[in-house]
C-alpha cells in the first residue's frame, strides 16, 4: 500500500501549489519512495512465496508418503478392483492440487485482509462520505458474489459439479470401450450413457451460468472495476459545500486519495475470488485423498507366531466380498498336509480363486480361520507368511524391467546364476534364446513383448526362485497354445516337487494324480477325495470328468 500513499502524497503537494507546479518540492522524493516501497513489496512477497512453497511442497510430499504407506497396508486383493496406477495417480494429483491454496492463496489471503483493514481505516480518516462510497462498491460486489453461492443456488452449483463428475466418469468408460465400438462397427451415438452425461452437463452448466451467475457476475465486475460509479456522484454532491466553506483544495486532495485507492479494492477482491476457487479445489482434493486413506487395511498382529510346518487348513471359512450379497465361500473346511498336492476344481464362480487368495491374505476371512502351519494367518508376521508362500495367478504382472530382474523380484538377493537356473527350470530357454539380450532384455521395450504363455513361464521361474514351502497356483492354461502348454506342465512339475501345493485346476487331466481333490460349487465343498474315489462316487466330479473325457475325444471329422 505504501507506493499508493506516496503517489497520493505527490498528488497532494501538486494540488497544494496549483497552478504553479514548479513550486512543488517533494515530488522527486515521493517518486523514489514509491519506487523503493514497490520494489520492497515485491521482495517481501517473493520471500513469502518461497516460504509458502516450501511448506506446500512438504505438505504435498507428506500426503503422498502417508497415502502410500497406507496403501502398503491394504490387503493385496484391494488392488484387484482398484488399479494401483489409478490410485497412485489419484493420490499424486490430489496432493498436487493442495499446492495452489497453500503456496499462493494463503499469502494472498493474508495480504488481502491486511489491505482491506488498512483501507478501511484510511478511508474513514480523510473523508468518511467518499470512503463510504468506495466501500459501498466493495460491499455490492461481495454481496453479488455470495448470492451466486448461497441458498437455492448452492444446490444448483452442487448439481452442476455432480454432472461434471458423471461426465468425466462416463468419458473414461467410453475410452475403455473404444475397441468394442470398433469391432462391432458401432457409432459414437451408441454410447448413450456418455452422450446423456454430456447433454446433462451442458444443460446444468447453462442453467447455472446463465440462470444464476449472469446478473450477479455482471454486478460484481462492474462494482469492482468501477468503484468510480459510486465515488464520482458523491464527490459532485459534496463539491458545492466544499467551495463555499473555502476548503476546496483539501477536498480535491481527498478526492485524489480515494480515486487512487479505489484501484486497490478491485485487486483485493479479485484475489479473494482466486482464493475461494483455490479453497474449493483443495477441498475436493482432500475428498479424494480421504477415499484413498479410507481403504481398508490388513490388521497386523503385535505378537506374531511362526508357522510350524507347511500344512494349510481351512476351518469353517466363510468370505463375502465387499458389497456382495451372497458369500463367495460358505463354511468351507479342508486340510492340506505338508507336502501334499490338493486340487480345487468346480464350476466357474464356485469360489476356487477366492479360496486360493485367502491363503496369502489377499483378503481376510469374514468368519472361520485359515491356518498355515497350525497358525491362523492373521497371527503371523505378513513377511514370514509371504516368504513361505509362492503364488502364480492368471494375471501375473511382469515389470518393465529385464527378465532377470523380473525373476529376481521374488528374492532380490539371489545371484544371477540362481535366477538363470530358475528360468531354466521353468523351461524359459527358448524365450531367452529369441530375445536380443537374452535374460537382460527389458520387457516392453524395443518391441519385446511376451505372449501369455511365455509370461506364465517367467512367472513360474519367479516362483521357483522363491523356493517357498507352499505353492498356490492357478493352473492358467487359458492362454497356452499346445507347445507352451507342455512346457508349462514341465515347469509346474519342477515347481511343485516336494512342496505343499494348492492348485486351481482347469484341465482335469492335471488333477488325476493329486493327493486330494476339493470340489467347490457355489462357495461350498460339494465333494472331497481322490480322483478314483470321486469318480466312483458318481457325483458332480464324476459328471465333470465324463464331460472332460468327451471333450478330449472330440475330433473334427471329414
Question: Interface with ligand ADP by CB under 6 A: which residues?
Answer: 80-81, 321, 324, 328, 346, 348-354
Strands 312-319 and 367-372: antiparallel
Contact present, 216 and 145 (Cβ < 8 Å): yes
The entry of ligand ADP, Mg ion, none near residue 484 (CB within 5 to 8 angstroms by kind) is: none
The entry of ligand ADP, Mg ion, none near residue 31 (CB within 5 to 8 angstroms by kind) is: none
Q: How far apart are CA 487 and CA 492, in angstroms?
A: 9
Residues 6+ apart with CB under 8 A from 128: none
The entry of Mg ion, ligand ADP, none near residue 307 (CB within 5 to 8 angstroms by kind) is: none
Judge residue 62's burial from the number of C-beta atoms within 10 Å of its C-beta, 0-12 exposed, 13-18 middle, 19 or more buried: exposed
The entry of Mg ion, ligand ADP, none near residue 12 (CB within 5 to 8 angstroms by kind) is: none
Cα torsion through 380, 386, 390, 396, rounded to 10 = 130
Q: How far apart are CA 354 and CA 351, in angstroms?
A: 5
In the complex with Mg ion, which residue's Cβ is closer, 353 or 441? 353
The entry of Mg ion, ligand ADP, none near residue 80 (CB within 5 to 8 angstroms by kind) is: ligand ADP
The entry of Mg ion, ligand ADP, none near residue 240 (CB within 5 to 8 angstroms by kind) is: none
In the complex with Mg ion, which residue's Cβ is closer, 341 or 353? 353
The entry of Mg ion, ligand ADP, none near residue 351 (CB within 5 to 8 angstroms by kind) is: ligand ADP
# chain residues binding Mg ion, by CB under 5 A? 1
In the complex with ligand ADP, which residue's Cβ is closer, 305 or 333? 333
In the complex with Mg ion, which residue's Cβ is closer, 264 or 472? 472
The entry of ligand ADP, Mg ion, none near residue 309 (CB within 5 to 8 angstroms by kind) is: none
Query: What's the start-to-end Cα distance of the chain, in Å?
Result: 96
As measured in angstroms, the least distance from the Cβ of 344 to ligand ADP is 8
In the complex with ligand ADP, which residue's Cβ is closer, 66 or 320? 320
The entry of ligand ADP, Mg ion, none near residue 348 (CB within 5 to 8 angstroms by kind) is: ligand ADP
Which H/E stretch holds residue 265?
A: helix 248-293
In the complex with Mg ion, which residue's Cβ is closer, 224 or 353? 353
Among 353, 406, 456, 477, binds Mg ion (CB under 5 A): 353
**372: β partners:** 312, 375
Pull the grid cell for residue 553.
475325444
Peptide bond into 19 cis (omega under 30): yes
Contact present, 231 and 123 (Cβ < 8 Å): no
Question: For the stretch 152-175, what's the b/e string if a residue is b when 16 or more beta carbons lie within 10 angstroms of its beta carbon?
Answer: ebeebbeebeebeebbeebeeebe
Q: 3-state DSSP: the chain helix, strand, coil percent, rounded to 5?
A: 65, 10, 25
In the complex with ligand ADP, which residue's Cβ is closer, 98 or 357? 357
The entry of ligand ADP, Mg ion, none near residue 410 (CB within 5 to 8 angstroms by kind) is: none
In the complex with ligand ADP, which residue's Cβ is closer, 234 or 518? 518
As measured in angstroms, the least distance from the Cβ of 394 to Mg ion is 7
In the complex with ligand ADP, which residue's Cβ is closer, 350 or 373? 350
Angle at 394 between CA 455 and CA 88, to 5 degrees: 85
Residue in the shown chain whose Cβ atom is closest to Mg ion = 353
Q: Give the binding range for Mg ion (CB under 5 A) out of 163-171, 353-361, 395-403, 495-503.
A: 353-361
The entry of ligand ADP, Mg ion, none near residue 321 (CB within 5 to 8 angstroms by kind) is: ligand ADP
As measured in angstroms, the least distance from the Cβ of 539 to ligand ADP is 17
Question: For the stretch 308-317, what's the b/e string if a residue is b when 16 or more beta carbons lie within 10 angstroms of its beta carbon?
Answer: eebbbbbeeb
As measured in angstroms, the least distance from the Cβ of 551 to ligand ADP is 18
In the complex with ligand ADP, which residue's Cβ is closer, 211 or 296? 296
Coil, strand or helix at 516: strand
Pull the grid cell for residue 389.
508362500
As measured in angstroms, the least distance from the Cβ of 525 to ligand ADP is 12
As measured in angstroms, the least distance from the Cβ of 422 to ligand ADP is 27
The entry of Mg ion, ligand ADP, none near residue 159 (CB within 5 to 8 angstroms by kind) is: none
Q: Give the binding range for Mg ion (CB under 5 A) out of 265-273, 346-354, 384-392, 439-447.
A: 346-354
Residues 6+ apart with CB under 8 A from 264: 1, 4, 115, 119
Q: Give the binding range for Mg ion (CB under 5 A) out of 155-163, 190-198, 324-332, 351-359.
A: 351-359
In the complex with Mg ion, which residue's Cβ is closer, 266 or 353? 353
Q: How far apart are CA 370 and CA 333, in angstroms?
A: 9
Left, alpha or beta for 265 (phi > 0: left; psi -120 to 50: alpha)?
alpha
In the complex with ligand ADP, which residue's Cβ is closer, 353 or 484? 353
As measured in angstroms, the least distance from the Cβ of 84 to Mg ion is 21
Question: For the stretch 101-121, what's the b/e string if a residue is b when 16 or more beta carbons lie within 10 angstroms of its beta carbon?
Answer: bbbbbbbbbebbeebbeebee
As measured in angstroms, the least distance from the Cβ of 473 to ligand ADP is 13
For binding to Mg ion (CB under 5 A), which residues are involved? 353
Amino acid at each position: 500500500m505504501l507506493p499508493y500513499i506516496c503517489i497520493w502524497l505527490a498528488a497532494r503537494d501538486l494540488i497544494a501549489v496549483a497552478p504553479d507546479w514548479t513550486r512543488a518540492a517533494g515530488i522527486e522524493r515521493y517518486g523514489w519512495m514509491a519506487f523503493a516501497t514497490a520494489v520492497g513489496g515485491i521482495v517481501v512477497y517473493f520471500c513469502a512465496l518461497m516460504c509458502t512453497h516450501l511448506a506446500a511442497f512438504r505438505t504435498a510430499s507428506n500426503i503422498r508418503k502417508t497415502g502410500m504407506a497406507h496403501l502398503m497396508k491394504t490387503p493385496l486383493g484391494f488392488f484387484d478392483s482398484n488399479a494401483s496406477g489409478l490410485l497412485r495417480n489419484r493420490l499424486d494429483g490430489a496432493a498436487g492440487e493442495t499446492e495452489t491454496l497453500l503456496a499462493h492463496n494463503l499469502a494472498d489471503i493474508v495480504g488481502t485482509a491486511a489491505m482491506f483493514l488498512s483501507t478501511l481505516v484510511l478511508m474513514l480518516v480523510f473523508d468518511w462520505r467518499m470512503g463510504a462510497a468506495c466501500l459501498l462498491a466493495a460491499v455490492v460486489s461481495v454481496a453479488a458474489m455470495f448470492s451466486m453461492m448461497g441458498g437455492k443456488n448452492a444446490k444448483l452449483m452442487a448439481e452442476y459439479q455432480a454432472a461434471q463428475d458423471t461426465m468425466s466418469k462416463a468419458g473414461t468408460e467410453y475410452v475403455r470401450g473404444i475397441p468394442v465400438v470398433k469391432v462391432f462397427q458401432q457409432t459414437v451415438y451408441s454410447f448413450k450413457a456418455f452422450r446423456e452425461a454430456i447433454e446433462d452437463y451442458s444443460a446444468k452448466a447453462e442453467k447455472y451460468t446463465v440462470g444464476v451467475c449472469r446478473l450477479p457476475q455482471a454486478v460484481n465486475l462492474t462494482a469492482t472495476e468501477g468503484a468510480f460509479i459510486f465515488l464520482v456522484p458523491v464527490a459532485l454532491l459534496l463539491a458545492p459545500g466544499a467551495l463555499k466553506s473555502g476548503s476546496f483544495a483539501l477536498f480535491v486532495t481527498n478526492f485524489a486519495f480515494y480515486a487512487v485507492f479505489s484501484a486497490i479494492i478491485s485487486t483485493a477482491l479479485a484475489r479473494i475470488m482466486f482464493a475461494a476457487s483455490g479453497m474449493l479445489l483443495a477441498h475436493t482434493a482432500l475428498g479424494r485423498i480421504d477415499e484413498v486413506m479410507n481403504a481398508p487395511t490388513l490388521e497386523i498382529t503385535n505378537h506374531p507366531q511362526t508357522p510350524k510346518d507347511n500344512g494349510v487348513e481351512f476351518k469353517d471359512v466363510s468370505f463375502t466380498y465387499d458389497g456382495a450379497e451372497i458369500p463367495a465361500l460358505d463354511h468351507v473346511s479342508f486340510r492340506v498336509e505338508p507336502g501334499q498336492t490338493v486340487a480345487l476344481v468346480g464350476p466357474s464362480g464356485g469360489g476356487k480363486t477366492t479360496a486360493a487368495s485367502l491363503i496369502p491374505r489377499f483378503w481376510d476371512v469374514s468368519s472361520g480361520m485359515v491356518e498355515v502351519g497350525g497358525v491362523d494367518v492373521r497371527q503371523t508376521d505378513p513377511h514370514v507368511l509371504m516368504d513361505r508362500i509362492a503364488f502364480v495367478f492368471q494375471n501375473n504382472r511382469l515389470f518393465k524391467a529385464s527378465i532377470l530382474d523380473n525373476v529376481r523380484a521374488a528374492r532380490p538377493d539371489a545371484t544371477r546364476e540362481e535366477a538363470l537356473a530358475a528360468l531354466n527350470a521353468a523351461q524359459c530357454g527358448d524365450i531367452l534364446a529369441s530375445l536380443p539380450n537374452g535374460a537382460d532384455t527389458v520387457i516392453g521395450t524395443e518391441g519385446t513383448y511376451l505372449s501369455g504363455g511365455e509370461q506364465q513361464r517367467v512367472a513360474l521361474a519367479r516362483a521357483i526362485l522363491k523356493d517357498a514351502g507352499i505353492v498356490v497356483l492357478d493352473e492358467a492354461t487359458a492362454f497356452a497354445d499346445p507347445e507352451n502348454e507342455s512346457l508349462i506342465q514341465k515347469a509346474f512339475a519342477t515347481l511343485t516337487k516336494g512342496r505343499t501345493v494348492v492348485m486351481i485346476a482347469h484341465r482335469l487331466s492335471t488333477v488325476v494324480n493329486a493327493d486330494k481333490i476339493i470340489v467347490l460349487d457355489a462357495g461350498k465343498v460339494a465333494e472331497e477325495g481322490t480322483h478314483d474315489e470321486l469318480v466312483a462316487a458318481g457325483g458332480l466330479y464324476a459328471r465333470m470328468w465324463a464331460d472332460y473325457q468327451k471333450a478330449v475325444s472330440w475330433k473334427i471329422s471329414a
